[in-house]
Structure 1
Amino acid sequence: MRWAAPEQFAEFVRNRHAALLRYAYLLCGDPHLAQDLVQDGLERTGMAWRRIERQGDPEGYVRRIITNRYLNRVRSLRRERLVSDAPDTSVTDAEPSDGSLMRLLSCLPRQQRAVMVMRYYLDYSEAQIAEALGCSAGTVKSTASRAIARLRRDLTDDPHQQLTSEGAL
């Protein structure tokens, strides 16, 4: 038996795929891993689409899957098999133009990076981040505080690596 996507799910994917890919890229900093995270999130969402659609926030559901899969990536890597030949398909580049911001984000631990991306890219409140990560608002605040302190320290240590006024921390 073959599964067929409901038209509402197909439309959701067409409309939100690029935004989900940007979000995943900001989390992990790797365009290939970002595509894998989004694919996994959409696959899981598609299988439960009717239930998720009734709950009213399918994009939040997919983002939570992407975030959890990213944060728990170490466990899944143990089961991954490396192959010697690369696949024949090409990949579009989802990298934002601000390389200095990506370099700064890549220095953060995964949890801190996830909090910063949710807060400043998705504009989530502390309560929304806490719900998405399954932790308390206090944990979100302390994690964000440590991340900002580290980013400021890294900016101070390397004066050549500066952000524009839009991306200032």
Structure 2
Amino acid sequence: MRTGRIPIVPRRWYWLALAVMVGLADQAIKGLVQALMPYGQTIPLAPFFNWGHWWNTGAAFSFLADAGGWQRYLFLGLTGMVTIVLTILLCRPRPRLEALGYSLMLGGALGNGIDRLARGYVIDYLDFYWREWHWPAFNLADIALFLGVIAFAIAALRERPSSRVSE
């Protein structure tokens, strides 16, 4: 007997959709930055924040940025492995906060991975600073990665220890 209910979409699709939306939003912003701003342009928006257009051929904090080009393939390989692992993890039932963490990490990896694959570098556009000291420029994908790690860490800390008695 049919009840007329709409079938419930498995929760994993919500988390995977969130990851894809984060990656697409990141790519949309980077596309606008690249289309509307010449490389190196900086627009001051506050006494501590600039919007700009910069390229990063390395990883976080420009790690290996001057390595000669081989790092692109290393980072693409790592991104591919991380994408596969996170997708597999999101396809299994997870506590919400843990799934949110994995989803944000996956979205960030997708956003920056697409850049590396298509352009050979990651576009950064957010520049926070204090006087003459500038934090390394970053983007939405980096924010998603950071928040994903924080969510995962909180979820891991909240997990109760095993009730099994050690021998």
For this structure pair, what is the TM-score category when the shorter chain's length is used for normalisation? under 0.3
In the superposition, the TM-score normalised over structure 2's length comes to 0.25
More helix by share: 1
Structure with more contact order per residue of length (Cα contacts < 8 Å, sep ≥ 6): 2
- TM-score when normalising by structure 1: 0.25
Q: Which one has the bigger strand percentage?
A: 2
Structure 1 or 2, whichever has the larger Rg, is 2
